[in-house]
A and B are shown apart, each in its own frame.
Chain A
Amino acid sequence: MQGTETRAAEVGGQGTAGDFFALLKPRVMSLVIFTALVGLIAAPGGIHPWMGFVALLAIAVGAGAAGALNMWYDADIDALMKRTAKRPVPSGAVLPGEALGFGLTLAIGSVLVLGLLVNLAAGALLAFTIFFYIVIYTMWLKRLTPQNIVIGGAAGAFPPMVGWVSVTGSIDLGSIALFLIIFMWTPPHFWALALWKKINADYSNAGVPMLPVVAGSDETRRQILIYTLILAPVTLLPSLTGTTGWLYTLATVALDLVFIHHAVRVFRVRDGAEGEQACKKLFFFSTLWLFLIFALVLVERALGIPSFPAVLG
């Protein structure tokens, strides 16, 4: 058997279809599909349902490609962290070259499909999103700055904008508002997880300068509160740009107040089980919060609630 094992290891082909699917980061992909759908529905005008499906498919595959390329590049640090050691590349199921080829093929394919079948601006923005996530975030800033989560948040904030541009062909203020919501939401969400799960040691071992590792938990709690206080007014931007109406506005104000309450708890209660509990609650609430904020846009469209007249843009 020695010979066959060696051959398979040399030429690849040991990974199952499931291993390659795991390279796409399916959980991240599902969030991308949801937020891109909201961008697609929220955009003024309309799109043929089939073209909307094609746009969502291309955006989802593009996000998966970015995930695969991220796992290819980060295999060295993934192998050092408990949370990521079992990923297909560090575990040896998929060879680095296979992950690179898979990611590049899907990246080029998704950009071409979106650009040629939907519109060129959307294709170009998807290409930029993948470039930003892989080159700017993964290769450059993730291992360089403790604000890496903020940069990564920007990459994660592009999908609703790509969905929007798939309909309109241009980047409008309404799409920037959706971008800013995810951009400002990511740091408090992820830092709450980092404080709760105590994954700092993992990142420290891997040499990734996460904010809690570099600046300590007190500074991280302060930054969580600052980002949350900026996030609250940002969530009202869709109402000022004529994207949403009264239901979104009222519900968002209520959700923002709960978010701020949890962030203040994290800032104030720092020690022991209670401090840990505060971080855990903020993390789970922030996940639900983002889902509800974006779902509200869909609900308003489904109920035919008119948007406010645009004050901005």
Chain B
Amino acid sequence: MTQKNNSSTPIRIPTCAELATEGKTPDVLFWVGCAGSFDDRAKKVTKSFARILHHADINFAILGTEESCTGDPAKRAGNEFLFQMMALQNIQLLNAYHIKKIVTACPHCFNTLKNEYPELGGQYEVIHHSQFLLELIETGKIKVNGNSFRGKKITYHDPCYLGRANDVYEAPRDLIEKLDLEITEMKRSREKGFCCGAGGAQMFKEAEPGNKEVNIERAEEAMALSPDIIAVGCPFCNTMLTDGIKINEKQDKITVLDLAEMIAQANNL
């Protein structure tokens, strides 16, 4: 067990297919999502979260190359055909592996799996990684060291598909407080949270003509608090806010960090 923190030992991430050949099913499926699989910034979050799962001895697996887009961006863009194509294929796969519980670091995957899959035959307990991490801490499966972020000023950006869409406001905040940090809230937070600009398939298109980009508006609101860290719980918010900070040339002063990265850092993982 003591070897786990040793970075020279590569961690193996099991896939459902591998477990199935041994006749096993994971307790939890880690749904990585497209951003978490392919986007360089989001991959760091994926790896942090996987390290925590490994460190806490969770019986988990991923779908690996068998995972597909949940269909979320297609659905929000109005392409219900493509959405249901993806959904029904994913559900077939998930049911074949007898998946009961899914954790994901992407609020868009979270929302789609949790709310839109059940009617199509995919009924799972779906939780966001902030909820899962909080549970790990509260059940003592992982410990956090408050020293890692001592003296840092932090604000938290609510992802729309976690907050307003699913009323998860407290888990991410409780998690941050476990790190002995006090959140400096933006004026537009919780129910009044302001979108990063990526939702509803905006991530994949140019914005319509206007006088400002949505992510700049939000980044400026966060920057006005002069935080050291902007905590996020969504790969798209992460990209949008990181870009917004860079455009304002504040990337040396302000870091955008995912909750999983903060917990991993606090565990030297």
The yes or no verdict on A and B being binding partners is no
Q: Could you tell me which A residues sit within 8 Å of B by CB distance?
A: none
Q: Could you tell me which B residues sit within 8 Å of A by CB distance?
A: none
